Chains A and B, each alone.
Chain A
Amino acid sequence: MEQPILEMKSITKEFPGVKALDDVTFSVAKGEIHCLVGENGAGKSTLVKVLSGVHPYGTYSGEIFINGEPQKFSGIRDSENAGIAIIYQELALVPELSVYDNIFLGNEITNGLTIDSYETIKQAADILKKVGLDVNPETKVKTLGVGKQQLIEIAKALKKDVKILILDEPTAALNETDSDNLLELIKGLKKQGVTCILISHKLREVLAVADTITVLRDGKTICTLDNREHQVRESTLIRHMVGRSIDNVFPKRKKIEIGEEVLRLENWSAYSPALGRQILKDININVHAGEIVGIAGLMGSGRTELAKSIFGNPDRYHVSGKIFIKGKEQKFRNPHDAIISQLAYVTEDRKGNGLILIQDVKTNITLSNLREITERGIINENEEIVVANNYKESLNIKTPSIEQKVLNLSGGNQQKVSLGKWLFVKPGVMILDEPTRGIDVGAKYEIYTIMNSLVERGMSIIMISSELPEILGMSDRVYVMSGGQIKGELTGEEATQEKIMEIAVEY
Chain B
Amino acid sequence: MSDEKSDPAKPNIFSEVLSLLSANFSQYFMFIALIVIMLIFTIATDGGFISSRNISNLLNQMGYIAVLAVGMTLIIVIRHIDLSVGYLAGFLGAFAAIAMTSWGLPVYVVIPVVLILGALSGLLTSLPIAKLGVPAFVSTMAAGLIFRGALLLVTMGTGTIIIRDPIFNAIGNGFIPDIPDFGFLDDRHKVTLIIGVIAIIFSIISAIRSRRKKISYNFEVSSPSMFILQMILTSAIIGYVVWLLSGYNGLSWSLVIVLIVVALFTFITTKTPLGRHIYAVGGNPEAAELSGISVARITQLVFAFMGVLSALSGILYASRLQSATTTAGLGFETDAIAAAFVGGVSAAGGVGTIIGSFIGALVMMSLTSGMNLMGIDISIQYIVRGAVLVGAVIVDRATRKGR
Spell out A's residues near B (CB within 8 Å): 311-312, 314, 334-336, 338-339, 345, 347, 352-359, 363, 366-368, 370-371, 374, 377-379, 382, 385-386, 405, 421
Contact = CB atoms under 8 A, between A and B. Distances in A.
A311 B290 contact: yes
A336 B273 CA distance: 14
B10 interface: no
Contact of A367 (B217, B272, B286, B291): B291
Given A335-B292, A367-B291, A377 B272 contact: yes
Contact of A334 (B287, B294, B350, B351): B294
A367 B277 CA distance: 8
Given A358-B350, A377-B273, A378-B272, 5 more contacts: A314-B286, A353-B284, A359-B279, A367-B293, A382-B217
Contacts of A334: 289, 292, 294
Contacts of A378: 271-272
A356 B289 contact: no
A363 B271 CA distance: 12
Contacts of A311: 290
A352 B285 CA distance: 10
A356 B217 contact: no
Given A314-B289, A379-B273, A359 B294 contact: no
Contacts of B279: 359, 363
A356 B273 contact: no
A367 B271 CA distance: 13
B214 interface: yes
The 8 closest A-B pairs by CB, nearest first: A353-B286, A356-B283, A336-B292, A370-B273, A368-B291, A339-B292, A356-B284, A382-B217
A335 B291 CA distance: 7
20 contacts: A314-B286, A334-B294, A335-B292, A336-B293, A338-B292, A352-B286, A353-B286, A353-B287, A356-B284, A359-B279, A367-B276, A368-B292, A371-B273, A374-B272, A374-B273, A378-B271, A379-B273, A382-B213, A382-B214, A421-B291
A379 B283 contact: no
Contacts, number: 79
A359 B283 contact: yes
The SS class assigned to the B binding surface is helix
Interface of B: 213-214, 217, 219, 271-273, 276-277, 279-280, 283-284, 286-294, 350-351, 403
Nearest to B283: A356
A374 to B, nearest CB: 6
Contact of B287 (A336, A356, A370, A374): A356
A379 B271 contact: yes
A15 B272 CA distance: 38
A385 B215 CA distance: 13
Contacts of A336: 292-294
Nearest to B218: A386
Nearest to B219: A385
Contacts of B219: 382, 385
A370 B291 CA distance: 11
Nearest to A373: B273
A232 B95 CA distance: 81
Nearest to B281: A356
Contacts of A312: 292
Nearest to A308: B290
A106 to B, nearest CB: 25
Contacts of A421: 291
Contacts of A374: 272-273
A370 B213 CA distance: 20
Given A334-B294, A352-B286, A368-B292, A379 B351 contact: no
